[in-house]
Amino acid sequence: ETETGLVLPLRSILATDYTDARLLPEAIDFVYWGGRLTRAQQATTTHHRPPRHITGLHFIHPDHLADTMDPDQHHRVTQALDALTRGAHLPFLLRGIPAE
């Protein structure tokens, strides 16, 4: 809510991504599906004032995510969107790449 002004129900986990401690702090990241935004919800983000460390909020077409995200985040989101559109099983990722 702090970043976007929205409170969305988290309906399902689309991906789980593990990053080991060799390159970054160790982390497990979860990508949730919160549903599609209504026009009123989109307007909420336009009028919301995020914290100072957030310099802007933008809706970006999935084809342009690579231009705005670091590679690991982009891989993670791409895998999650793929799981959503194909109805695939929950992917377990290692730094954004599907685990074998």
Q: Encode pLDDT of 39-49 as tens digits.
A: 988 888 877 88
Q: Is 19 within 8 Å of 27 (Cβ atoms)?
A: yes
One DSSP character per residue, 40-89 reads: HHHHHHHH----TT--------GGGGGGTS-HHHHHHHHHHHHHHHHT--
How confident is the model at residue 94, as a pLDDT?
A: 76
Q: Encode pLDDT of 15-26 as tens digits.
A: 888 887 776 688
- Non-local (6+) Cβ contacts of 91 within 8 A are 14, 15, 16, 79, 80, 82, 83, 98
How confident is the model at residue 89, as a pLDDT?
A: 64
